[in-house]
Structure 1
Amino acid sequence: MKDPKGFEILIRGTVQGVGFRPFVYNLASRLEINGTVTNTSDGVVVHAHAPGDRLSAFVEALEAEAPPLSRIVSLEHHEISEPSDVSGFTILASKTGDTACTAIPPDIALCSDCLAEMLDPKDHRHHYPFINCTNCGPRFSIVESIPYDRPKTSMKVFPMCGVCDEQYHDPTDRRFHAQPNACGDCGPQLSFHDNKGQLLPTDSPLTETSKALAADKILAIRGLGGFHLTVNGYSHQVVQTLRQRKGRPDKPLAVMMANLEVVKQHCHISEEEKQLLQSTAQPIVLLHKKDTFSLADNLAPQIDELGVMLPYTPFHHLLFQQPGCPDALVMTSGNVSGAPICTANDDAIQRLGKIADNFLLHNRDIVTRIDDSVARVTNSRQQIYRRARGYVPAPVEIPWKLPQVIGCGGGLKSTFCLGRENSAFLSQHIGDLFNLESYDFYLESIEHLQNVFQIEPEIAVCDQHPDYLSSHYASELDIPLYRVQHHHAHAVTVMAEHGISGPVLGVIMDGTGYGPDKTIWGGEILLADLTSYKRLAHLQQLRLPGGDAAAAQPWRMGLSALYSAFDGPCPDELLPQSLDRIPLEKRKVIHTMLDNGFNTPLSSSCGRLFDAAASILGVRQDISYEGQAAIELESLARRSMTSTWHHQIEDFCGRSEPFQLGKEGGKIEICSAEFVKLLAAAVQTGTSPEEAAMMFHFMLIGNLVDVVRHLAESTGVRQVVLAGGCMQNSLLLEGLFHALPPHNIEVYTGETLPINDGGISLGQTITGGLQHVSRNSHEGYQG
C-alpha cells in the first residue's frame, strides 16, 4: 500500500485555551512534520505532511501526550492526496464556522509555574495579581464567543505591551495564545475603595485590604467570576456582623485558607480530599472539623463540617502574603441573600455597599458570572454538589445522539442544559429560581451559552411541576415541549454519567418533586430506563401541615409524623419534650388541620421525614436555610459513630416488621412514620439524642436495603442508582454503598455531576431528547 502523503486531522473537545496549538506545533517540529494547525468552531484542525510512519506516530502522540488541561472527545483523520508545498509547520489564525463543536475550558486555578514567577523578584510579572498562562487563569468567565481568541474576550480592551506580545506570538512560550496574557504594564489592575465606591489612593490595594481584614472590617472583593464578601475567619464578632448585614443567620460560610498546613490545623483531611482541594478546579471541599478547631465558632454552627478552599487566583495568594493578613478568610458569595452574585463594580457598590466596609476592585470585566464549586469526598469518591467554577462549561459526553435540545431544570439549585449530538453542556449553578433577579441571571446565561455553542434548540424539556419559572420559560419557547418527572430525571442523570441505558432501580431521596398523581413525591424507588419509569416503592406519605410552611418549621412535621404513627394526636405521656415546648395552641391548630385534612397535602418526601426526626430529637424546630434540620441531624448522629458503624447497619437489615414494609396500591410502602414513633419511645427511655439520631439513619438505611434487595430479586435488575438531595447525607450514602453490594447489587451515584437538583436538567435533556428522536412524548409513568 502506498504510504499516505498527508493527513487532515480534526480534534474535538476541550482543545482551545489549554495550549493545544503550541503542543501540536512543538510535536510536529520534533517529528519533522510539515503543515498547519488552526482553531475553528468545529475544533482544532491539523494538516500534516510527512512519510507515513511519522504521520502515524504523530497521530498517536496527539492523544498520548496532549496537554494536561485538554480533553479530547474525538480525533478523526483522513488521508489527503493533494501535494503540499508547505515547508515547516505553521500556526494559522483562527477560523469561524457555522457550528461550534469545540469546548471552552473552565476557569483554572493558578499553576505552580505562574506562582513561582509571581514570587520571583527578578521576573517580569513579580507580584502581578493577574498573572496567567495557557495552563491557568480565567477562561469561561471572560469569553464572549468562540473560537476562543483574545478579541472575543473581555481582555480585548488591554493591548499587550512588547514583552507580552512577543510571548503571545511565540509557539515555544508557555503564554503562546494565552488569551488573558498581560503584565503590570499592560493588563488589569486592582484598586481599593470605600463603601460608597470612592477610590482610596494607596501604593498597595492588597496591603490596605489586609489591614482592613485584620481590623475586622467586611470586604467586598471582585474575584474571577463575581464578588466575595470576605472577613477574618477567626473573629466571631465580624462573622456575626456579616451574618446580620447579609441576612444569613445560620447557613455555613466557606473559608479560604492560606495553604494546606493551615487546613490541617483546623480540619481532618484525607489523601482524596487533599487531591480535590489542590486540583485544577480547586472547589470548596467539605471537611470535618478537628476538636482543636480554633476558627470562629459561628462559621458553620451546629454542624461538624466546614467548606474549605485554597487560594486559586494570583491576588488570593498575594493577599495571604501581606503582613498581618489572617491565614483563614471567610469567602462567601457576594450577594444579598437569594440574589445572584454581583459581577460589575457599579452594581456591587450599589448592592453590597450596606454590607461591606470597603471594596477591592479590578477593571477586567466578568462576562459570565460563576460561583465557587462545592464538592465532598464520600466513601473515598469525589462528589460535586455545586458544579460551577473549574468545571463549567466542560461538556458531558454521552453515548446517545441528541437533537438540539434545552433541558430547563427545576426550581431549587437551578441549572439548565444544552444538548446536541453526543454532547451535553450543563450550565453553571444559577440558584433558586424564586425571584426576578435569579430568573434574569437564568435567561442571561441561556442566551450566552446558546451563542457560544451556537445551539438553537428544536425542542425544550422541563419538570412536570407547572409553577416552576423554568417550566414557564420552556412553555413560552414555541417549540415542542416534553415534561419529565423530577425523580426520573434524577435517575437518568446518574445513568448518563456512568453510560448506563438501563433498566435500573433508582433510589431517589429528596425534599420535593411533583408526582403525576398530583401529590408531592420525594422518597422513591423507581424502575427506570432513559425514557420511561415505573414507581415500585416509596416512603409512607405524611401530611404537610400548612403546605410549604412545613418545610420551614420542622415541628409541624414532627407533630404530623407522630399523628400518623398514633392515628391521632400523640398521647401526652409519649410526646417528646422538644415538641411539648411548642405552645399548646399551636399544636391544637396543627391537630385540627390534620383531623380535617385542611391544607395538609400528602408527601412521600424523605427531606420532610428527616425534618420530623430532627424535631422529635430537639435538633431544630425552625430553619433559616434549606436542609438545615437534616444537616444538623446528621452531625448529631456522627457524635455517636463508632469505627464499626458500617456493621451496625446489618442489624437493621433483613428484619423489617410488617408495619415497616407494607403494600400500597400494588407498590411497596416503607411505613416510615413508625421510625419517628420508635424515636419518641427511645427518647422516653433515656436514649441519648446522638444515639437516637444514629438509630434513625440505621432504620432508614436498613429498610431501603431490604426493599431494594426484594425488588432486585423480583425484577432481575441489579444495577442501582442513588440520587436526590438527601443522598448528600454521607451517612445515608455510605451506608447504602456498604450494605447493597454484598447482595450482588451494583451501586452508582453522581461523582462529577450533582445528585441534587443541580443535575436534573441533564436528565431532562437526555430523556426529552430521546423521546423526541422516537417521537414519543409520553413520559412512560406506570402506576
Structure 2
Amino acid sequence: MDHEKSKVITVKIKVYGIVQGVGFRPLVYRAAKQYGIKGTVRNVGGYVEIVAQSEKEVLGRFFADLKENKKGGYEIIRMEAEELPFMELEDFVIVESGSSEEILVIPPDLPVCPECMRELSDASDRRYQNPFTSCMSCGPRYTIIEDLPYDRNRTSMDDFSMCGACREEYTSPESRRFHAQTISCNDCGPYLIYQDKEDDHGGLLEKEAFEKTIEVLSQGGIVAVKGIGGYHMVCSPFLEDTVKRLRKLKGREEKPFAVMFPVISEIRKYCVVSEEEETLLESKARPIVLLAMKQDSMAPSTGNGSIYCGSFLPYTPLQHMLTEKLGPLIMTSANSSGQPIIREDGPMLALSSPYLNGVLYNERRIVRSVDDSVAKIIEGKLQMIRRSRGYVPYPVFLSKEEGRGEDWTNTGIFAAGGDLKAAFCLCQKGSAVVSQYFGDLEEDAVMEEYQRSYADLTRLFQLVPGLAVCDLHPNYHSARFAEALGFPVLKVQHHHAHIASVLAEHDLKGPVIGVAFDGTGYGTDGNIWGGEFLVCEERDFIRAAHVSMFPILGGDGSMRDARKTAACYLLHAGLEAYIRDERIGVIKAALEHNVNTVLTSSMGRLFDAAVSVLNIGHENRYEGECAILLEKEAVLAERKAVKPADICFGINEREGILELDPRPVFKALCSMRNKEETGSLALGFHLALAQAVAAICERLRSKYSSNAAALSGGVFQNALLAGHTVRLLREKGFNVYLNQAVPPNDGGVSLGQAYLGNKYLKSGIMDLERTGCHVCCSTGKNNSDKR
C-alpha cells in the first residue's frame, strides 16, 4: 500500500479566474461532498479559497475535475496550492466571504441559461413567463454589483426580499439556485411596469404591462425597454415610418441599427452566417455580430444601405419573450446620438418626445451602465468593435515578468485611453481590466460618466493607482484627467499604444513590425500620424515607415468634410485639374499661406479622399462613414467577380525611413474614374494597399530581423482590407497578429498604454522621479521632463 497516497492532508487552494458569481462555490461544495472531502470554500477578494482535507489521491482527482470544468460556467486561470498543518475538520461548508489585496476578477453579465429557458416556457413551473428568472449560472452580474465579494447584500437585488420558496432554494445545497444572488420569482420581484407616455395616471403591472408592450410594438410603436445595462429603444425593423421616427427620436440620421432575432434560424433568413459567426452569436457574451446581408427585406431605413446587419440573440428572459411574440426587433441603446446610454428610470420616464409611445421598466437598479458589445469575424477569428456587456470586466492577463525591485508589480496603473471610443484600463499584478465603452469624451455627459466610472471601478477593484498612463496629445480630455489625478504620468504615443495592445494580448517578445492605420494620432514630431509602420520591442519603438506626409486643413470639420480632404491631397499631389470643389481657391490659398494647416500621414484621411474622388460620398455624417462606403463598393465588386483596377502605391525611402506614397494611386483614380467601374477602382484601392503593406513589411523584416507583424488601428476594422493584408503577409511567411480581446480602434488603446506602463515599471524608470514625472515614448529614446 502506498502510504503517501493514503495519507490525509489539508491543503489551501487559491483559485483565480471567473470564479465568483457563476455558481463555482456550490459546484465545489457538491464535488467535495461527492468525494467525501472535508473543508471550506469562500470568496476572498479576487479569488476563491478552498480548504480541503482528504487523502492525497482523492484531492488530486477532486482538483482535476474542477480544472476540467465539465459542468460549470466558470473559467480557471490558475490555482495556487499550500499545504496546511493538520487540523480537525467536521464537514464541508460554504463560509462567509473575506477580503484580500489581490486584484479582483468580477464576472461579466451572463445570458439566460438553457435550464432557466425551459422554466420560462413551462406552464407548470412557478417561474413560467417570469422576465427576470435566473440561477447561479446566468443573469446580471457586473451591472448590479455594488461591492465585493459578490453576495446578494452587495448587489441591487438586496432591494427585493426573497419569498419563502426562493429562500429555501437559495439555502439548499442541492438546488440550482443555491447561493444564486439574482434569485427571484413571480412572488418576490422585480416586476414589469409599463408607463404610457400619453397617460400620466400610473402604469400597468406584470402581465398587463407585457401585453401592452406587445400591442404597441405590433402596431408600429416605439417602446423604451429596460435591459441589464441600460434602456433600449425597441421597434419593428420592417416598418419604414416607424424606423424613421426612431431616427428622429435618437437624432441618428444615417448609422445602421442592430436587430435582435429570436433564434439563429431566423437570422439565416436575412444574413449569411458562418460556423464561427454562429459560435460567436451564441457565446456567453451575446454580442451584436456584423453579418453579411443576404436579402434586404427589412425597412430601408433599418440598415440604410449597409452590406452588414448588426445581428444578435436575446440574452435576458424578457428579450426572449418579446422576440418570441414579435420576431426580429430593432434594439438600440436609449440615448441621443453621442450621449451615454440611459440607465436610470427617472430620466427615461421624464423623456418627452412625440416619437416614444411608452416605457417598459422595473425597479431593479442598474448600478453601472453597459452598452451592447459589437464584434465580427475576420479570417475566422473574433474582432471586437465595441467591448462592453458580456466581456467587461473580464481582464486581459499580461505575462508575469521579473523586474527591478520587488514591488513593481504591486503598483496599480490607470491607463486613460483615448478620447474617441473612450475606455480606460486598470492594471495590477499583470491583470488588466479594460472598462466598458463610453463614447466621445468631447461630450460633457460622456466625460462625466467616464469620471464617475473611474471612481466606481477603482473602489470596486480596491485599486489605488501609483502610475497614470495617457496619450501624448496635449489636448485630449483623457490625458488632462490623468494629469489631474496627481500620480506620476507616462505619456505614450497613440499608435505605439495601438501596437502595444496587440503585444499585450499575444504576449509577443522580440522586435515586432506593427502596422497602425487610423484617422488621427499625435506624433512625437508634433504632426498628425495615422499611417504608421513601427518596430516595437519592450517599451520602445522605431518609426520605420509611414504614409508620406501631406497637408490638410484642420479645425473641427476636417474629419467630417471628405471633399475638402480630397482637394487638399490632390493639390499636394499635383492633381489640381481633377478637383471638383468650388472652394478650391480658398483651400489653395490657405495651404499656400499655412493657415490652419496640419501635416498628416493619416490613412483614414486617404480613405476619405478616395471616396470623394470616386464620387461615392463627400461627408462623414458619422465616424468612418466614408471608409465604410468605400469598403461597400469594393466588397460588392468582389462578390460580383469584378476585375480590380490595376493600381499601386509607391514606396520611397527618405533618410532611412520608408514612405508609402499614395500619389500613383490617386493619379490612377482620377484618370480612370470616368472609364472604369467605381467598384473596380474601390477594390483596386484596397488590394493595392494590402500589397503595399506586405511589401513594406517584407523590407522591414530583412532590416530588423522580425518575422512577426501586428495590425491595429480603426482602419483594420475594414474586413476586406484586413483579410487581404493578413493573407498576403502569411503567404510571405509572416506570423500575423490582430486584436481579439479588445477592439483595434481607440477602444483598445488603454490596454496598450497599461502594457507599456507595466514595461516602464519593470525597468525601474519610474523610480527616477516619483512626483510629476512625464516620460514620453519616442523613437527608441525615453525623454522625461519635470513639469
Could you say which TM-score interval applies, normalised by the shorter chain?
A: over 0.9
| Residue 633 (structure 2) pairs with residue 636 (structure 1) | yes
- CA drift of 1:623 comes to 2.0
Letter in 2 for 1:212: V
| Residue 587 (structure 2) pairs with residue 590 (structure 1) | yes
The aligned residue for residue 344 of structure 1 is 344
The aligned residue for residue 469 of structure 1 is 477
Q: 2:437 aligns with which of 429, 432, 435?
A: 429
- CA drift of 1:622 comes to 1.5
Q: 1:160 aligns with which of 153, 159, 162?
A: 162
Listed one character per residue, the Cα deviations across residues 553-593 of structure 1 (whole Å, up to 9, x for unaligned) are 10011112211221xx621xxx2xxx63x4x2x22221222
The aligned residue for residue 147 of structure 1 is 149
The aligned residue for residue 662 of structure 1 is 652
Q: Which moved more, 1:690-699 or 1:67-76?
A: 67-76
- CA drift of 1:545 comes to 2.1
- 1: CA distance, partners of 2:52 / 2:634: 62
The aligned residue for residue 683 of structure 2 is 694
The aligned residue for residue 768 of structure 1 is 757
| Residue 91 (structure 2) pairs with residue 88 (structure 1) | yes
SS in 2 for 1:621: coil
| Residue 235 (structure 2) pairs with residue 228 (structure 1) | no
Letter in 2 for 1:359: V
Task: Answer whether contact 1:207 1:319 (CA < 8 A) is retained.
Answer: no
- 1: CA distance, partners of 2:352 / 2:266: 29
SS in 2 for 1:141: coil
Q: Which moved more, 1:587-596 or 1:245-254?
A: 587-596
Task: Answer whether contact 1:141 1:366 (CA < 8 A) is retained.
Answer: yes
* Residues 190-339 of structure 1 mapped to structure 2, 5 A cutoff: 190-195=192-197, 198=200, 199-201=202-204, 203-290=207-294, 292-322=295-325, 325=326, 327-339=327-339
- CA drift of 1:519 comes to 0.4
Task: Answer whether contact 1:5 1:83 (CA < 8 A) is retained.
Answer: no
Q: 1:621 aligns with which of 605, 618, 623?
A: 618
The aligned residue for residue 781 of structure 1 is 779
| Residue 673 (structure 2) pairs with residue 683 (structure 1) | yes
- CA drift of 1:768 comes to 1.7
Letter in 1 for 2:80: E
- 2: CA distance, partners of 1:642 / 1:314: 39
- CA drift of 1:675 comes to 1.5
- 2: CA distance, partners of 1:530 / 1:355: 54
The aligned residue for residue 129 of structure 2 is 127
- 2: CA distance, partners of 1:216 / 1:606: 42
The aligned residue for residue 527 of structure 1 is 535
Give the TM-score normalised by structure 1: 0.94
* Residues 485-564 of structure 1 mapped to structure 2, 5 A cutoff: 485-564=493-572
Listed one character per residue, the Cα deviations across residues 733-752 of structure 1 (whole Å, up to 9, x for unaligned) are 00111101122211000112
- CA drift of 1:31 comes to 1.2
The aligned residue for residue 712 of structure 2 is 723
SS in 1 for 2:700: helix
Letter in 2 for 1:25: Y
- 1: CA distance, partners of 2:301 / 2:93: 58
Q: Which moved more, 1:112-121 or 1:498-507?
A: 498-507
Listed one character per residue, the Cα deviations across residues 194-239 of structure 1 (whole Å, up to 9, x for unaligned) are 2278333364212211211122212111111001111110011111
- 2: CA distance, partners of 1:156 / 1:339: 30
SS in 2 for 1:338: coil
The aligned residue for residue 576 of structure 2 is 570
- 1: CA distance, partners of 2:754 / 2:355: 39
* Residues 747-758 of structure 1 mapped to structure 2, 5 A cutoff: 747-758=736-747
- CA drift of 1:547 comes to 3.6
| Residue 732 (structure 2) pairs with residue 743 (structure 1) | yes
Unaligned stretches of 5+ residues in structure 1: none
- 2: CA distance, partners of 1:397 / 1:227: 31
- 1: CA distance, partners of 2:253 / 2:186: 41
Q: Structure 1's 729 and 68: CA in aligned 2 closer, same or farther, altered over 3 A?
A: farther
Letter in 2 for 1:709: E
Q: Which moved more, 1:236-245 or 1:345-354?
A: 345-354
Q: Structure 1's 360 and 741: CA in aligned 2 closer, same or farther, altered over 3 A?
A: same
- 1: CA distance, partners of 2:145 / 2:184: 16
Letter in 2 for 1:536: A
SS in 2 for 1:661: strand
CA RMSD of aligned residues (A): 1.9
Identity %: 36
Q: Structure 1's 440 and 497: CA in aligned 2 closer, same or farther, altered over 3 A?
A: same
- 2: CA distance, partners of 1:162 / 1:460: 49
Letter in 2 for 1:408: A
Q: Which moved more, 1:252-261 or 1:704-713?
A: 252-261
Letter in 2 for 1:471: A
- 2: CA distance, partners of 1:506 / 1:78: 42
The aligned residue for residue 108 of structure 2 is 106
Letter in 2 for 1:666: G
The aligned residue for residue 388 of structure 2 is 388
Letter in 2 for 1:427: S
- CA drift of 1:349 comes to 2.4
| Residue 358 (structure 2) pairs with residue 358 (structure 1) | yes
Letter in 1 for 2:194: F
Letter in 2 for 1:73: I
Q: Which moved more, 1:56-65 or 1:451-460?
A: 56-65
- 2: CA distance, partners of 1:197 / 1:415: 39
Q: Structure 1's 340 and 196: CA in aligned 2 closer, same or farther, altered over 3 A?
A: farther
Task: Answer whether contact 1:530 1:766 (CA < 8 A) is retained.
Answer: no
SS in 2 for 1:299: helix
Q: Structure 1's 51 and 282: CA in aligned 2 closer, same or farther, altered over 3 A?
A: same
- 2: CA distance, partners of 1:465 / 1:272: 38
Task: Answer whether contact 2:470 2:478 (CA < 8 A) is retained.
Answer: yes
Letter in 1 for 2:777: E
SS in 1 for 2:135: coil
- 1: CA distance, partners of 2:679 / 2:78: 52
- CA drift of 1:83 comes to 2.5
- 2: CA distance, partners of 1:355 / 1:415: 32
Give the TM-score normalised by structure 2: 0.93
| Residue 663 (structure 2) pairs with residue 673 (structure 1) | yes
- 2: CA distance, partners of 1:375 / 1:778: 33
Letter in 2 for 1:159: S
Q: Which moved more, 1:538-547 or 1:614-623?
A: 538-547
Task: Answer whether contact 1:4 1:79 (CA < 8 A) is retained.
Answer: no
Listed one character per residue, the Cα deviations across residues 491-547 of structure 1 (whole Å, up to 9, x for unaligned) are 011111111133200000011100010100000000012311010001122222244
Letter in 2 for 1:57: R
SS in 1 for 2:301: coil
SS in 2 for 1:346: helix
The aligned residue for residue 486 of structure 2 is 478
- 2: CA distance, partners of 1:426 / 1:114: 30
Q: Alignment length, in residue pairs?
A: 758
Listed one character per residue, the Cα deviations across residues 326-384 of structure 1 (whole Å, up to 9, x for unaligned) are x1211111111111000011012234646522111111000010000000011111111
Q: Which moved more, 1:221-230 or 1:665-674?
A: 665-674
Listed one character per residue, the Cα deviations across residues 231-277 of structure 1 (whole Å, up to 9, x for unaligned) are 11001111111112321110111111122122111111111111111
Unaligned stretches of 5+ residues in structure 2: 402-408, 766-774, 782-787
| Residue 48 (structure 2) pairs with residue 48 (structure 1) | no
